[in-house]
Structure formats: C-alpha cells, structure tokens
Amino acid sequence: MRLKNILVLLLGTIAIYTDAQERVDFQTDDKVQVIADYYKTEKGDSSQWAIMFHQAEYSRGEYKEMAARMMKMGFNCLAVDLRIGKEANFVINETATIARERGYPQVMLDCEKDMLAAIKWVRSVAPAAKINLVGSSFSGSLCLKIAAERNDINSVIVFSPGEFFEPKLSIKNTLTDLKTPVYVGCTRSEYEYAKNLLSQAKPNKKVIFRPEKGEGLHGSKTLWWDSPTRNEYWLSLLFFLNNLK
C-alpha cells in the first residue's frame, strides 16, 4: 500500500460503513453454531484475510467500521460472533443467543473453539489465505495464544489484551514461542501492562502503540468514528499493515 493511500484512508471525513457483507455460519468441534459476517474485498482476488473477534458483551458489529476500511485495503474480512456477548452497533450476537437457547456453557475461554472454527472455515474457502487475527480485549488475548501455537497465522492485531483467564491460563506464559508479527493497540494507562504481557514475544516482531493526544479507549472501539484518538491508532495500524506480506 502506498503512503498516499494510507493518508487517504486515514483522513476520510465521513464514517465508513458497508452493507456488502454476507452472513455465514459454521460449526465448532463441540457443535456450537457460529454466525459471522463475511466482507469480500473490493480489490479482486486477494489472499489477505482478517478474522475479527469482539470483546465481552459485544458482537460482530464491533467491526462494522474496521471491516469496511480493511476491505478497501485489500483484506477479506470475517467478523465473528463468539458464544458470549450481547450487542454492538445495533448488531445482536447471534452465536451467543443460539448457545444460550441450546444450553451451552458460555465461558470466555471456550470462545477459543469458536475462533478455531472460524480459521477452519476460512481455510475451507481459501486454502492459501494469509490469515490475520484481530481481537479485542479477552479475544485479543486468545488471538495471541492461537498464533503462538500455530505456524499458519500471518499477523495478530489486538487491542487491550490482558490476563483474563488466570489462574487457569497465563497468556504471558503461552507467548514464549510467538514469532508472528504483532500489533497491540492499548490505552495510555494500559501501555506498561501490555509491554509486560508481550515481553516474551520477539522484539523485532511487535508494535505496541499508545496514543499521544488522549487516553484512548479499551478494545477495538478505539478505532470507531466517535473515538477522539481514532486517527492516531489508525495511522499506526495502517503503517503496520503496509509492511505485511
């Protein structure tokens, strides 16, 4: 991506939304039906995929703006409803609704099964896909764990990851072998915590960003149109994406 294209995407003055997504569904290994929105890039036959996972209490609607922008950069996007959550941007979490109605336990750590099913679905429709995991808060932590355990993840883009699963699971301890390029967006108050969490990751493979002109917001909503520091985050993220292969 050329620098001038980065600036055009960053400096747009109108919030970007799209209705060009396709609703898809697939099943996890423990038989939970997962609902997701598939956004196909406008850039033709691209091998780049961004699989997007929301924070607690939210839904796939968390990524309406981000998916629209990334489509324009040549990424196919899959925004996934995890088995816990409620609503974001007027989009109800359908996976959580189905799981609740069918009596499945709704535990954050179990959402890893939904995330693995999403990766499997992308591989089924695009075997050569370059998969970039996007996570928000607790799902960002699971993205890091998954990337550390697999060799087929192109990059990880997470916002406000943390230790949400202790004492059962330490995310920091899972990252010893993490070699995947990582972008971490965090608030100013989360910055030192994020550095410590990612201290096991290879130093030349990670970007940990905090804004200079404000506190920022927890999770990927810091990219939303009404976030005061959105442009700072977007600029740093777009430079990271520009260096992906």
* CATH assignment at residue 26: 3.40.50.1820
Between strands 130-136 and 153-159, the pairing is parallel
Question: Does pLDDT of 14 surpass 70?
Answer: no
The strand pair at 21-27 and 33-39 is best described as antiparallel
What is the average per-residue pLDDT within 130-157? Answer: 97
* Mean pLDDT confidence for 130-135: 98
Q: Is the peptide bond before 181 cis (omega within 30 degrees of 0)?
A: no
Range of the structural domain that residue 209 is part of = 3-242
Cβ atoms of residues 208 and 184 within 8 Å:
yes
**Which of 13-27, 56-70, 193-207 bottoms out in mean pLDDT, i.e. has the lowest?**
13-27
* Residue (of 224, 220, 216, 225) closest to 50 by Cα position: 220
Q: How many domains would you assign to the chain?
A: 1
Distance CA 202, CA 200 (A): 7
Q: Does residue 95 have a pLDDT over 70?
A: yes
Report how far residue 227's alpha carbon sits from residue 164's, in angstroms, rounded to the nearest whole number: 24
Q: Residue 104 pLDDT more than 70?
A: yes
4 vs 134: CA distance, rounded Å: 24
Longest Cα–Cα distance of the chain, Å, equals: 51
* pLDDT-derived band at 12, boundaries 50, 70, 90: very low
Q: 82 CB contacts (<8 Å, ≥6 apart)?
A: 34, 53, 54, 93, 95, 96, 111, 114, 115, 139
Which residues share a beta bridge with 135? 53, 158
Q: Which pLDDT belongs to residue 4?
A: 47
Give the model's pLDDT for residue 201: 87
Using CA of residue 66, residue 92, residue 182, residue 187, what is the dihedral sign? positive
- Distance between CA 111 and CA 38 in Å, rounded? 19
